[in-house]
């Protein structure tokens, strides 16, 4: 149907980029990018009008977006050349052919297109050996200046390598090393680095990517005094496991970025960590950092469970998950046990009412007091707890 609209307007349309790569890899991808040789905004507008879909346009970028009735998003872009006014800048755009549009892209694996015009429907267009690179699991740039033109591609190269388990092509690897060594990322806007890091922290293979970023010394260039030793690597791995555990057991979704930021920065003085968070717009992590730096030397083996509970009960989910990943195993286990018990809701308001107490703000005080005794094993079970309350 879209092909029909394009034909009427005498335009050519292609499926491009990540979605084509992911079709070949057999991976799920819900971002449908359609490249138009012609006016993308006009095509999207007509198509939306014909079908009653929601339509948005972005004139400055010559792009438009449509949402279908079943909430599928289609992104339309006019085939274009990008002109970077200075390395790392958001690019300026100009109309171009499909090939020119594909040539400006980051890696060959992202340059494949599938023709979706009616007469050529389904033909794969591969101008830069992208198919071969996908098959050989290689990340390769299209030209020498790629990382200079857009230093954010340094992050993207490692993100794709980690995500797909691909290797950098040998020449691309050399270019990337030079780009990092020469500190090209210095000229990239901090907001774009923030976006890239957030994407990384939300990747399934986040650990592989962070280790690659460390191996290629990208993290050293990003974070002052950064050192990733074996212990800290283990902490990062535990973060990944604990995030999953909390989703499964507690049905709680944490902000992964905050926890991984803690994992990367916790060994540095708080001022250095905060400086980084401020520079890259991670203010959302401040609270958890303050909580962790305050707590890290306070929670120890000699505390009673109830004392540990006092420390952790009000803190953010992110700090909790990080603490569990960072503290020695026996302490993490104790905290998990406390959280599991807390989830059980040992004594409820109903229990208190059943003892003849009138609902009042005092309830939560009584509940906390009893719960702490339960944590310290002074009260063994619910029966004993109710007995204790009755006596009091």
Footprint of ligand CTP on this chain (CB under 6 A)? 17-18, 31, 105-106, 110, 150, 152-153, 156
**Nearest distance from residue 107's CB to ligand CTP, in Å?**
7
Nearer to ligand CTP, 142 or 324 (CB): 142
**Nearest distance from residue 306's CB to ligand CTP, in Å?**
46
**Nearest distance from residue 106's CB to ligand CTP, in Å?**
3
The residue of the chain with the least Cβ separation from ligand CTP equals: 18
Give the Å distances, CA to CA, from 335 to 166, 277, 313.
38, 27, 10
Nearer to ligand CTP, 107 or 246 (CB): 107
CB atoms within 10 A of CB 320: 24
**Nearest distance from residue 156's CB to ligand CTP, in Å?**
6
CB 78 within 8 A of CB 63: yes
Nearer to ligand CTP, 3 or 18 (CB): 18
C-alpha–C-alpha distance, residues 226 and 216, integer Å: 13
Which residue, 189, 194, 155, is CA-closest to 284?
194
Which residue, 94, 93, 130, 124, is CA-closest to 111?
130
**Nearest distance from residue 20's CB to ligand CTP, in Å?**
9
C-alpha–C-alpha distance, residues 76 and 63, integer Å: 5
C-alpha–C-alpha distance, residues 110 and 112, integer Å: 6
**Nearest distance from residue 193's CB to ligand CTP, in Å?**
12
3-state secondary structure 53-97: CEEEEEHHHCEEEEECCCCCEEEEEECEEEECCCCCCCCEEEECC
Q: 242 is written with which tokens?
A: 């604990």
Classify each residue of 57-84 as buried b or exposed e, where b means 16 or more C-beta atoms within 10 Å of its C-beta. beeebbbbbbeeeeeeebbbbbbbebee
Nearer to ligand CTP, 18 or 349 (CB): 18
Nearer to ligand CTP, 79 or 152 (CB): 152
**Nearest distance from residue 27's CB to ligand CTP, in Å?**
9
Q: Are strands 12-16 and 32-37 parallel, antiparallel or unpaired?
A: antiparallel
Nearer to ligand CTP, 195 or 303 (CB): 195
DSSP assignment letter at 147: H
Q: Is 3 exposed, middle or buried (0-12, 13-18, 19+ CB in 10 A)?
A: middle
Nearer to ligand CTP, 15 or 370 (CB): 15
Nearer to ligand CTP, 5 or 110 (CB): 110
C-alpha–C-alpha distance, residues 45 and 64, integer Å: 8
Which residue, 157, 188, 194, is CA-closest to 90?
188
Nearer to ligand CTP, 65 or 368 (CB): 65
Which residue, 312, 264, 307, is CA-closest to 292?
312
**Nearest distance from residue 304's CB to ligand CTP, in Å?**
47
**Nearest distance from residue 3's CB to ligand CTP, in Å?**
22
* Secondary structure class of 198 (helix, strand, coil): helix
**Nearest distance from residue 239's CB to ligand CTP, in Å?**
21
DSSP assignment letter at 358: P
Nearer to ligand CTP, 164 or 246 (CB): 164
């Amino acid at each position: 149907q879209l092909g029909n609209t394009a034909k009427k307007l005498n335009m050519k349309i292609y499926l491009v980029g990540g979605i084509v790569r992911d079709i070949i890899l057999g991976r799920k991808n819900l971002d449908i990018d359609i490249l138009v040789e012609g006016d993308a905004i006009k095509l999207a507008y007509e198509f939306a009008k014909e079908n009653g879909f929601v339509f948005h346009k972005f004139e400055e970028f010559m792009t438009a977006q449509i949402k279908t009735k079943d909430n599928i998003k289609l992104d339309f872009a006019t085939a274009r050349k990008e002109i970077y006014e200075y390395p790392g800048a958001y690019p300026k755009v100009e109309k171009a052919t499909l090939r020119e549009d594909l040539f400006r892209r980051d890696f060959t694996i992202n340059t494949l297109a599938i023709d979706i015009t009616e007469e050529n429907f389904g033909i794969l267009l591969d101008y830069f050996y992208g198919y071969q690179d996908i098959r050989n699991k290689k990340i390769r740039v299209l030209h020498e200046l790629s990382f200079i033109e857009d230093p954010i591609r340094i992050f993207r190269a490692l993100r794709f390598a980690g995500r797909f388990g691909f290797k950098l092509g040998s020449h691309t690897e050399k270019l990337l090393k030079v780009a990092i060594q020469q500190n090209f990322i210095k000229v990239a806007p901090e907001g774009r680095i923030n976006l890239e890091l957030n994407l990384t922290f939300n990747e399934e293979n986040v650990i592989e990517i962070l280790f690659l970023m460390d191996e290629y010394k990208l993290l050293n260039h990003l974070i002052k005094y950064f050192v990733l030793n074996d212990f800290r690597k283990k902490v990062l791995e535990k973060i990944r496991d604990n995030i999953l555990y909390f989703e499964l057991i507690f049905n709680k979704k944490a902000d992964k970025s905050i926890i991984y930021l803690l994992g990367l920065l916790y060994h540095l003085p708080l001022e250095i960590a905060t400086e980084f968070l401020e520079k890259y717009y991670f203010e959302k992590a401040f609270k958890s950092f303050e909580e962790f730096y305050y707590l890290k030397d306070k929670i120890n083996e000699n505390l009673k469970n109830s004392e540990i509970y006092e420390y952790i009960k009000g803190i953010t989910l992110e700090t909790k998950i990080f603490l569990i990943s960072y503290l020695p195993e026996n302490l993490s286990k104790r905290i998990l046990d406390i959280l599991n018990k807390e989830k059980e809701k040992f004594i409820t308001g109903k229990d208190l009412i059943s003892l003849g107490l009138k609902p009042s703000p005092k309830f939560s005080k009584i509940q906390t007091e009893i719960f702490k005794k339960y944590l310290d094993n002074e009260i063994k079970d619910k029966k004993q707890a109710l007995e204790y309350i009755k006596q009091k």
